Structure 1
Amino acid sequence: MTRRLFAAILAGVVMAGQQLGAEEEPSFSILGFEDLKGWADDDHQAALTVFRNTCGDLSAPDWSALCGMAAEAGDARQFFELFFRPVLVSNGTDGLFTGYFEPELTGSLRPDGRFQFPLYRMPPEAEQQRPWLTRREILTDGVMEGRGLEIAWVDDPVELFFLQVQGSGRVRLPDGGHVRVGYGGANGHPYSSIGQELVRRGIYQPHQVSAQVIKNWVRRNPREGLDLLLVNDSYVFFREVNEVPADKGPLGAMNRSITAMRSIAVDPAYTPLGAPVWIEKEGQAPLRRLMIAQDTGSAIKGAQRADIFFGTGDRAGRIAGRIKDPGRMVVLMPIQRAYALLPESVQ
């Protein structure tokens, strides 16, 4: 499961200006497909393919029936329009879209002069004691050394830090192979935003902070930068994810590979995992697309909050890091389920 999404990097900085503390009871309204901007222009077949990847895990009878029909559907747009209704869910917060990606680091299965920074499995005592040691104690007290807990070694401590924030990624090996890692647990301390810390120190204003800005500052100031990373007491451990081929996306919250530009992370309190979701993202690069809710994240809270998966590697990371846009999301629900959400007075 991708449990530490890209939006968590900035922790409250990304959310500045959002009324996150003013959440209300959710309200529901049913729209027509003609109300969805750009609906007719999307590639509905691509969305249907991704929907099929996880709909078999939906156990409710109405969802199960639709999954069976999806397997036989010929016209994808007709399938969605015939069996679903668009439902706008609101809980009093503005829409916010961010992006996330799967990092790819350069590493080795053995340490050497270049590859010195290990990815660790979770030690047994960290599972039994909550919270366990802080990041600073784990990295400076030698508690992990000589125990065989290393999965691989990488060449960049800053990228390793952001891999921990992200929660999953790939390590590219010298022979061209890959090791994929996923979230294996944490030390139990809350995440502290290093973006907020840079703002607190007066180095940047909130609107200036991004993942790339943080990385560049740490690299320009190596001693202060590495100490800055230790401000975050949270420390993430990894596990090898051998069941996912290198050409597939990382595992999402439904324990299935997610798909670039068709999978999103949502708040499952408002959006069912596995549901199709129509995205109307504004900003410099507007996006109108049918996505599938296949992931979650600690920073993804609210009915109108989504994180868009942009893929694997540096290019995907650069694009994802620029996304912080308003808009709206509309959940496609099975027809009877959609109307059951409405108050009796309007049914």
Structure 2
Amino acid sequence: MTRAMLTASQWTIACAGCLLLGGLPLALSQPAPAPSEAPPDRPSPVLPKPTNTAKPLLPSAPFPKKSQLLGDFSTRDDRRTLLTAVDHSLRYLQTERAIAGYRQSRVSGISRERVYQSLKRFRQLLLTQPSAAALQAAIEREFVVYQAAGNDGQGTVAFTGYFEPVYTASRLPTVEFRYPLFRVPPNLASWSKPHPTRLQLEGADGLQRHSRLKGLELVWLRDRLEAFLIQVQGSARLQLTDGSVMTVGHAGTTDYPYTGIGRELVKAGKFKLEDLTLPRLLQYLADNPADRDVYLPRNNRFVFFRPTGGAAATGSIGVPVTAERSIATDKTKFPPGAIALIQTQIPYVNAAGQLENRVVRRYVLDQDTGGAIKGAGRVDLFMGTGKLAGDRAGLINATGQLYYLLLK
């Protein structure tokens, strides 16, 4: 990227916990990884030390006030997007992947069949209840909600946002496009451990090539940070210089944990932790480009990609994710594909054209996960594709509550 300053929309995983502190998200725009393949990491904000929440779901809880929920059904588009996400989960729940997923899940008392029947009934209510009030009343009458225990055992959940970025790239290296994404090495599984570090694979400036990477270049980006951010995100939609579009998704990683740039800058005394925000980090990297070569190599985890044929952004359960309707959680704690209710803050464009946070209560589907989304206190909300989605995702960094709905 050659711009003088990066904006929040140019972050692949726009959230305060990602490059700031650690994490990398789902494999968007790709077939979901096989069960044995570690998913990309996800953002991990600063949270209280987890308590021993052996039961991730607390006993049944009351619904939030009905009046607070009616806004989620206020437009035809609200119902349409929710119906789309529900249909994707219903499709998943009828697959062998779902059978295997629930066999691995440790969510006591919540079976795949119960989740499936709950979604079927929820869908029927969406199609038949004429008003928002009637729909919410029917949901409260027929469903019970279970609250996520949260990171503190008391229901406090940390929310972040992620999105599918759009970048310009070239199929061939040029003077302008010099920083590649790489295909997965065919012999990656046989690499001896420890794997080569990021510094060894691409050099301090990102322009070197370890012998194991030569010939595996997939596309080239303008800027090293841009290529790095795609690795953080695990996917991207690329507008190629020849006029075509390519989508790429996560195909494999080296065997290292993710290290957040922001945390490294805090350790180096460049920021105080309480002062670290995405805009400040972005501005710092724009003003101090040489520091990219110092701090980017500290993340040893290296991500490989594959073309995904223009596929829609896809979550870990193998179905497309829907903007503001799909969440990522720890699938060992929560039921894959299930319908949930979130209460948190999400930014929206106000009358002045500025983004401002609003308290929201939305029904969502649990359709994704990530390597750093661990425990009962983390939720990542998918915000969509492109600039505005990135701007909004970059401002989501709040606590809230998470509930799951099941038929009584």
In which range does the TM-score fall when normalised by the shorter chain?
A: 0.7 to 0.9
Q: What amino acid maps onto 1:62 in structure 2?
A: R
Partner of 2:159: 97
Q: Please report how far the alpha carbon of residue 124 of structure 1 lies from its aligned counterpart in structure 2 after TM superposition.
A: 2.6
Q: Please report how far the alpha carbon of residue 290 of structure 1 lies from its aligned counterpart in structure 2 after TM superposition.
A: 0.8
CA 212–175 in structure 1, closer or farther in 2 if over 3 Å, else same: farther
Partner of 1:75: 128
Question: Which one of 383, 388, 392 corresponds to residue 315 of structure 1?
Answer: 388
8 Å contact 1:261–1:308 — kept in the other structure? yes
Partners of 2:378 and 2:320 in 1: CA distance: 21
Question: Which one of 133, 138, 143 corresponds to residue 84 of structure 1?
Answer: 143
Partners of 1:225 and 1:156 in 2: CA distance: 11
Partner of 2:84: 49
8 Å contact 1:101–1:312 — kept in the other structure? yes
- Percent sequence identity over matched residues? 31
8 Å contact 1:122–1:184 — kept in the other structure? yes
2:168 aligned with 1:106: yes
Partner of 2:222: 155
Q: What amino acid maps onto 1:56 in structure 2?
A: R
Q: How does 1:72-221 map onto structure 2 within 5 Å?
A: 74-75=127-128, 77=135, 80-81=139-140, 83-91=142-150, 93=152, 94-129=156-191, 130-140=193-203, 142-144=209-211, 147-221=214-288
8 Å contact 2:245–2:310 — kept in the other structure? no
Length, aligned pairs only = 327
Partners of 1:205 and 1:86 in 2: CA distance: 40
Q: Please report how far the alpha carbon of residue 317 of structure 1 lies from its aligned counterpart in structure 2 after TM superposition.
A: 1.7
Partners of 2:211 and 2:235 in 1: CA distance: 20
CA 34–21 in structure 1, closer or farther in 2 if over 3 Å, else same: closer
Q: Please report how far the alpha carbon of residue 139 of structure 1 lies from its aligned counterpart in structure 2 after TM superposition.
A: 0.4
2:295 aligned with 1:236: no
Deviations 1:148-172 (A, max 9, x none): 3121111121111111111111111
Deviations 1:191-229 (A, max 9, x none): 112111110111111133234433332232222222211
Greater RCO structure (CA 8 Å; 6+ sep): 2
8 Å contact 1:14–1:324 — kept in the other structure? no
Partners of 1:168 and 1:261 in 2: CA distance: 18
CA 203–5 in structure 1, closer or farther in 2 if over 3 Å, else same: closer
Partners of 1:309 and 1:9 in 2: CA distance: 17
Partners of 2:373 and 2:332 in 1: CA distance: 10
- Root mean square deviation, CA, Å: 2.6
TM-score, structure 2 as length reference: 0.73
Partner of 1:344: none
Q: Please report how far the alpha carbon of residue 107 of structure 1 lies from its aligned counterpart in structure 2 after TM superposition.
A: 0.5
Partners of 1:57 and 1:5 in 2: CA distance: 28
CA 331–319 in structure 1, closer or farther in 2 if over 3 Å, else same: same
Q: What amino acid maps onto 2:51 in structure 1?
A: A
Partners of 2:310 and 2:172 in 1: CA distance: 22
CA 222–91 in structure 1, closer or farther in 2 if over 3 Å, else same: closer
- The SS at the match of 1:286 is strand
Q: What amino acid maps onto 2:88 in structure 1?
A: N
**Structure 2: where are the runs of 5+ without partners?**
1-12, 23-42, 94-98, 100-111, 130-134, 347-356
Partners of 1:179 and 1:96 in 2: CA distance: 33
Deviates more, 1:173-182 or 1:33-42: 33-42
Partners of 1:282 and 1:70 in 2: CA distance: 25
8 Å contact 1:29–1:89 — kept in the other structure? no
Q: Please report how far the alpha carbon of residue 306 of structure 1 lies from its aligned counterpart in structure 2 after TM superposition.
A: 0.7
CA 270–197 in structure 1, closer or farther in 2 if over 3 Å, else same: same
Q: Please report how far the alpha carbon of residue 106 of structure 1 lies from its aligned counterpart in structure 2 after TM superposition.
A: 0.9
Partner of 1:8: 18
Q: Please report how far the alpha carbon of residue 91 of structure 1 lies from its aligned counterpart in structure 2 after TM superposition.
A: 4.9
TM-score, structure 1 as length reference: 0.84
Partners of 2:377 and 2:212 in 1: CA distance: 44
Deviations 1:251-305 (A, max 9, x none): 1111111111111111212221211111110483222111111111222223232
2:317 aligned with 1:254: yes
Question: Which one of 45, 53, 58 corresponds to residue 24 of structure 1?
Answer: 53
- The SS at the match of 1:293 is strand
- The SS at the match of 1:252 is coil
Q: Please report how far the alpha carbon of residue 21 of structure 1 lies from its aligned counterpart in structure 2 after TM superposition.
A: 3.3
8 Å contact 2:122–2:139 — kept in the other structure? no
Deviates more, 1:229-238 or 1:83-92: 83-92
